[in-house]
């Protein structure tokens, strides 16, 4: 496949830059906010604000429309799995996991997606893509460090890591559904309904699990940035970058997101940049590149 025209590619890189800058800081900002907010209420606010902003954005673009029936599987998959389920587990997991590790591990779907593509969709997978699965699992192994849990030591973080594995499974299942039952309209036009559905899912969970929770005054600037800026505008920029850039260019570019997340976590939150974070991040980045090229 030939690369997009030069003008389109340059525009794509601009969208990519916006996406990287906004999403690179999401988990460090969220981790800092959770000192004054509870996880599920913060996640609910993220989706509710994003739904409102995407409505306004699409209305300004004159692209706000009711979804049609063929769009419903995509809306349900993205809203309930990729947004609702993913955000519920990921925000709770931040109580156990450092933001830098979150920035890396939340981007790992390859070890679920490739096997499931074979078993569910019957797709043919190349040898490099299977190698990508193995390398991705090795990167996760390095980041989790299961050898530290022998004898009970280091088990405190295990629930968080299990939740992150669930996050990547939800994201992978969402991708499979949208591949198998693609929507009629562009995904950008479905975002208000996806974010709205995720908010409706998260609200009762927050009321049940965190009845006395909420978002404290010091955390509201963080919540506004995540919900009203990063989530809607970052998602829009990601979609537009993916449309204008080749698969390889987009894949390489989006790898900057976890790198930036790790750097912000190190410089702002003071999280240690150990050998395991560096090596695990490199292995996972290599697995994503192999999967994209394969």
The DSSP line for 146-161 is GGGGGGGTTGGGHHHH
Whether 99 and 271 have beta carbons less than 8 Å apart is answered as yes
Average pLDDT, the chain: 85
> Taking 90 as the threshold, does the pLDDT of residue 101 lie above it?
no
> Taking 80 as the threshold, does the pLDDT of residue 194 lie above it?
yes
Whether 92 and 248 have beta carbons less than 8 Å apart is answered as no
Gap between the Cα atoms of 262 and 144, Å rounded: 16
Alpha helices in the chain (DSSP H): 6-24, 26-33, 39-60, 72-76, 86-93, 99-105, 110-121, 127-144, 158-180, 187-209, 220-224, 231-244, 247-254, 256-268, 275-293
Average of pLDDT values for 55-70?
A: 93
Higher pLDDT among residues 9 and 202, named by residue: 202
Average of pLDDT values for 246-271?
A: 79
**Position 200 in a domain:** yes
At residue 70 the predicted structure's pLDDT band, cuts being 50, 70 and 90, is very high
Specify the pTM: 0.86
Structure confidence at residue 218 (pLDDT): 96
At residue 1 the predicted structure's pLDDT band, cuts being 50, 70 and 90, is very low
Which residues neighbour 185 within 8 Å (Cβ) at sequence distance 6 or greater?
65, 67, 68, 71
Mean pLDDT check: name the lowest of 42-46, 232-236, 249-253.
249-253
At residue 2 the predicted structure's pLDDT band, cuts being 50, 70 and 90, is very low
Average of pLDDT values for 39-66?
A: 95
Gap between the Cα atoms of 28 and 269, Å rounded: 7
Average of pLDDT values for 8-21?
A: 82
pLDDT in tens, 112-169: 777 888 787 787 878 887 888 888 888 888 887 776 665 555 567 788 888 988 988 8
Structural domain of residue 25, as residue ranges? 6-293
Q: What's the domain count of the chain?
A: 1
**Position 243 in a domain:** yes
**Position 1 in a domain:** no
């Amino acid at each position: 496949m030939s690369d997009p025209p030069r003008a389109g590619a340059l525009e794509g890189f601009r969208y990519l830059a916006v996406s990287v800058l906004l999403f690179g800081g999401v988990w460090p900002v969220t981790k800092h906010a959770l000192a004054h907010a509870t996880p599920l209420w913060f996640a609910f606010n993220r989706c509710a604000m994003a739904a409102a902003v995407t409505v306004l954005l699409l209305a300004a673009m004159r692209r706000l429309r009711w979804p049609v029936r063929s769009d419903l599987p995509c809306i349900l998959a993205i809203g309930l799995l990729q947004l609702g389920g993913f955000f519920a587990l990921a925000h709770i997991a931040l109580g156990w996991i450092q933001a830098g590790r979150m920035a890396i591990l939340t981007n790992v779907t390859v070890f679920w997606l490739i096997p499931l593509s074979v078993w569910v969709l019957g797709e043919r997978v190349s040898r490099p893509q299977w190698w990508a699965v193995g390398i991705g699992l090795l990167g996760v192994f390095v980041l989790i460090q299961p050898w530290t849990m022998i004898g009970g030591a280091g088990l405190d973080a295990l629930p968080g890591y299990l939740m992150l594995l669930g996050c990547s499974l939800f994201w992978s299942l969402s991708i499979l559904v949208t591949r198998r039952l693609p929507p009629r309209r562009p995904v950008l036009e479905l975002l208000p309904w996806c974010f709205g559905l995720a908010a409706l899912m998260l609200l009762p969970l927050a009321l049940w699990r965190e009845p006395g929770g909420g978002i404290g005054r010091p955390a509201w600037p963080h919540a506004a940035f995540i919900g009203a800026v990063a989530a809607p505008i970052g998602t829009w920029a990601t979609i537009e970058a993916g449309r204008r850039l080749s698969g390889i260019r987009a894949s390489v570019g989006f790898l900057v997101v976890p790198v930036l997340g790790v750097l912000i976590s190190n410089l702002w939150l003071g999280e240690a940049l150990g050998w395991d974070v560096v090596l695990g991040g490199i292995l996972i980045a290599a697995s994503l590149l192999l999967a994209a090229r394969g």
